Amino acid sequence: MQIEFLGATREVTGSCYLIHVGEYRLLVECGLIQGSSDHERHNRDPFRFDPEAIDAVVLTHAHIDHSGRLPLLIKRGYSGKIYTHRATVDLCKIMLEDSGYLNEKEVQWENKKRERKGLELLEPLYTRNEAREAHQHFRSLDYDEAQEILPGVRLTLHDAGHILGSAIAELELTEGNKTRKIVFSGDLGHRGAPILRDPKPIRHADLVVMESTYGDRLHRNWDETWQEMGEIISNARSGKGNILIPAFAVGRTQELLYVFKQNFKEWEIDDWEVFLDSPMAIEATDVYFRHAKVYDKRAKQVYQQSGNPFMLPNLHRSQRSEDSMKINQIQSGAIIIAGSGMCTGGRIKHHFKHNIWRQDAHVLIVGFQASGTLGRALVDGAQQISLWGETIQVKAQIHTIGGLSAHADQQGLLDWYGHFENRPRVVLVHGEPEAMDVLAQRLQDKYQSDVVKPNFQQKLAL
């Protein structure tokens, strides 16, 4: 038995781990590599294994850095099943097809330039149709139900509290007379977040593969976060300019709608017209509504008492581009939630073009903004931005809301690991080097843990 680390080693994208147990090969995650164009080019590289030789795949959740190369895996020969939570199956249907669409558009744009230069044309990493075909390979599981997915391989998914359907994957592996239990944290959720339950504690493992995204920092208190957001919305009401909120389609959008509904009167949300201007976010919100079974106690009460926890009486859902364009005629009194979350594309850029130069407009930054993105430039105080070749002055008030993270912070990671009674060996993945190094030292100091920070393609015997 052994595990090989083929992604998210000393970085946060491209999660991919290969387990050998007896004659079987099991893949955990198959994520897209994200970042610079040079970095993303590696998505086209051959897999470090034969896709046809893989016997089963386990997926912890729908985010593209964990799921985004699954259609490519199938395109290159994988013919088996993909085991994941049933809500993740629904979200992947949306997210992988969207990824396929973006692949098509990106290659179409690139090929126009290549054709003019007489260069060989590219084909998409995978298409929308190939993403749809991949969906046929998914198999739904519920939390806390053990299932043998291969001879000698028993899988149990536990709630990770990160996004809807996110899971901690507990694998019991048997080879001959030896049995080993590996626990993959997946992405662990931020304790106390709305809608979803906190990550489930696990008591025993022989090896823990744990994310370390925020291993070097603590999040802001939830109460302070919501108070700040409420104050911004209430203060903006007097100026009556529009509020623009770039938001990730899955997770953050649903949190915002839920919190708006819970504070509808207190934050005077009823004085605004609220627009959800993202077809993907609309579909994802419908998936969230269908899976109330996995809500936390408070969200279940809201669901039972008032029905859809994401539907406001003044909410407008803009599916068509024509609907989105009409919003730009509104000069005041609108709260507009639109993608993309880091302002790198999507409809939010069109709303910036019509609003960000207005002094009475507000931009709420409610998620992580990577270096080099338009969102990060706004956070860093850019005085002007470029949209489609036009330079636009930034006169709107830019508000960065701290504490809104779907990931556990350092204390959350330490506390989750602390529930393992036997203090198993821990392998840190899915983190930048600094965050990973800090968390490794804290684990060693607090729990005397044996910590591994694997290199790409490193193998560990089980």
CATH number listed for the domain at residues 2-217+406-461 = 3.60.15.10
Task: Using the predicted structure, report yes or no on whether residue 443 has a pLDDT greater than 90.
Answer: yes
The answer to whether the beta carbons of residues 182 and 1 sit under 8 Å apart is no
Task: Using the predicted structure, report yes or no on whether residue 35 has a pLDDT greater than 90.
Answer: no
CA 420 to chain centre: 26
The answer to whether the beta carbons of residues 342 and 367 sit under 8 Å apart is yes
Q: For the chain, give the longest Cα–Cα distance.
A: 71
- Positive/negative CA dihedral, 368, 135, 85, 423: negative
Q: What pLDDT does 36 receive? A: 75
The answer to whether the beta carbons of residues 197 and 440 sit under 8 Å apart is no
- Positive/negative CA dihedral, 352, 357, 358, 362: positive
**Mean pLDDT, range 4-33, rounded to an integer:** 96
> 222-400 is classed in which CATH architecture?
3-Layer(aba) Sandwich (3.40)
- Rounded Cα–Cα distance for residues 416 and 200 (Å): 8
Residue 142's pLDDT band (cuts 50, 70, 90):
very high
Q: What pLDDT does 42 receive? A: 94
Q: Among 284, 235, 234, 239, which Cα is nearest to 258's?
A: 284
Task: Using the predicted structure, report yes or no on whether residue 332 has a pLDDT greater than 90.
Answer: yes
List, for residues 171-188, the tens digit of each pLDDT value: 999 999 999 999 999 999
Q: What pLDDT does 222 receive? A: 95
Tokens representing 290? 């269908």
Residue 151's pLDDT band (cuts 50, 70, 90):
very high
219: three-class secondary structure by DSSP: coil
Give the pairing of strands 334-338 and 243-246: parallel
- Rounded Cα–Cα distance for residues 455 and 427 (Å): 11
**Mean pLDDT, range 241-268, rounded to an integer:** 96
- Rounded Cα–Cα distance for residues 308 and 305 (Å): 9
Q: What pLDDT does 94 receive? A: 97
Whether residue 79 is preceded by a cis peptide bond, meaning omega within 30 degrees of 0, is: no
**Mean pLDDT, range 342-367, rounded to an integer:** 95
- Rounded Cα–Cα distance for residues 149 and 55 (Å): 9
CA 166 to chain centre: 9
Residue 372's pLDDT band (cuts 50, 70, 90):
confident
Residue predicted with more confidence, 369 or 246? 246
List, for residues 184-208, the tens digit of each pLDDT value: 999 999 999 999 999 999 999 999 9
What integer best gives the mean pLDDT of the chain? 96
List, for residues 103-114, the tens digit of each pLDDT value: 999 999 999 999
- Kindly list the domain boundaries of the chain, sorted by start residue: 2-217+406-461, 222-400
Q: What pLDDT does 1 receive? A: 96
Residue 157's pLDDT band (cuts 50, 70, 90):
very high
Above pLDDT 70, what percent of the chain? 100
Task: Tally Cβ neighbours within 10 Å of residue 42.
Answer: 11
